[in-house]
A = this chain, B = another copy of it.
Amino acid sequence: MAQASPPSFFDRTVGQLREVWRDLSLRAWPGGGNGFRPNLPDEDAARLRQRIAECVASRGGEVSARARAAEIGRAYLSLAPEGRHRFLSILAQDFAADRETVDEAILAYRQAKDTVELAAAEESLRDALAAPRVRLLKQLTTLPDGFKFLIDLRAELLDHLKDDPTLRGLDRDLQELFTSWFDIGLLTLERIGWDSPAALLEKLIAYEAVHEIRSWSDLKNRLDSDRRCFAIFHPSIPLEPLIFVEVALVNGLADDIHKLLDEGAPRAESAEADTAIFYSISNTQKGLRGISFGDFLIKKVVESLLRDMPNLKTFATLSPVPGFRRWLDTQLAAAPANDEPPRRRFGGANGDMSAAKLREALARPDWLQDAALAEAMEEPMRRWCARYLCQEKSGGKALDAVARFHLANGARLERINWLADRSPKGLKESYGLMVNYLYRLGDIEANHDAYVGQGQVVASPAIKALLKP
């Protein structure tokens, strides 16, 4: 729906405070760009530089500066992608820290003689290193939707970052600000249910990144009495979940995502469940990249579930293995055309299928329909997957992104489930394999230290057995 244009802001005397506060909205108005043309040509860019400089100088006092900052924010929203990129470049290059001031502060630092002088010099140096643009970024927080605006701005910046490394300083500033503003001491965990606001629930539908929510009725099923959904919120962005998790209350480790997502399945008695399965975790704000909420989320959710349902004994995930297929295809492509079954490597008869045969099987369009074949593939596929998850590393961390997340949180790789996700996405990513990561409260610390310290993947005996030849 189109929105009419509001009265121009710059026409007002800044002193009309009453209206000022009312107009601090950052929503984009068609024609509300304060005269900046969409692609921000040179003369507009000059004018923008001027406006930003005024904000940074806090002329007229902090409250007025924030009103002007709102206009700049609104101008940004009115720009075309090219103009926005230019806007970001201006911030990055024209409002960076002043090298000369830094050099002076460095000099003073080097001459500091005792603790006291050093503390003062450190402070001066830190101040000198703080880019003036940071003042503008901070001013934008007081505005309605200010935090969300900055998150979205960074999301756009990240799109440019690869091709335009000059934006990196601005990106660092934003990340640093976000690290403080989204300190987990400020965040709250809230349960989401069918009685949550529709305005919030529609965002779950939009943000769900693991198993797409197909409709409001699919969503309602995921919020039923044998399910739980939790999200983390920031107090200044009330209807915007930062990360959320969907949990199924079941008996025993779940091994098939389709059962969990089936709207027609009978509802379980949640009071009798002994296991909580985290079957979907979605980060929602690309612009908060580098700010981690997942560890906090999982542990807070475990705490909350335990309080309400003391019967719960097991906390585990049913997780995708997003990088497995790509890795496996490469491995299999490299295998000799007609190799022997790797008897020595994989041992028992069950696991007997050579890489070539497996490659051949996976190449058949109907392998999934061929029940006997699919069954024969189970053991070797689970072996390959165990190898992928436990032994393939990149920079000392697990190669698989989801594994990285859970292992760093202190989970243990518990079980590999063949054909647990037979959706097109599941087949495309991992040939249908899914994994349970187990969160055992008494082991979390040790698991974390083993993984983070020595890069060791803690796995169940069953998984370890799969690794044996």
Contact = CB atoms under 8 A, between A and B. Distances in A.
A129 interface: yes
Contact of A236 (B168, B186, B202): B186
Interface of A: 1-4, 13-18, 21, 59-64, 92-93, 96-97, 99, 102, 106, 109-110, 115-116, 118-120, 122-123, 125-126, 129, 138, 140-143, 146-147, 165-166, 168-169, 172, 176-177, 180-181, 183-186, 193-202, 216, 220-221, 224, 235-236, 239, 263-269, 295-296, 299-300, 302-303, 306, 408-410, 440-446, 448-449, 452
A183 B179 CA distance: 13
A13 B445 CA distance: 10
Interface centre among A125, A221, A300, A440 (most CB of B within 10 A): A125
Given A99-B118, A235-B235, A295-B63, A13 B442 contact: yes
B116 A165 contact: yes
A114 to B, nearest CB: 9
A16 B444 CA distance: 9
10 contacts: A15-B440, A62-B295, A62-B296, A125-B125, A126-B126, A126-B129, A141-B186, A194-B197, A195-B200, A197-B198
A448 B15 CA distance: 11
A161 to B, nearest CB: 11
A63 B3 contact: no
Given A17-B303, A198-B196, A198-B198, A185 B236 contact: yes
A152 B95 CA distance: 36
Contacts of A201: 198
Given A1-B221, A60-B410, 6 more contacts: A1-B263, A15-B441, A18-B303, A119-B165, A125-B125, A129-B129
Given A125-B129, A303-B21, A119 B198 contact: no
Nearest to A292: B62
Nearest to A123: B172
Given A97-B122, A129-B122, A197-B195, A61 B444 contact: yes
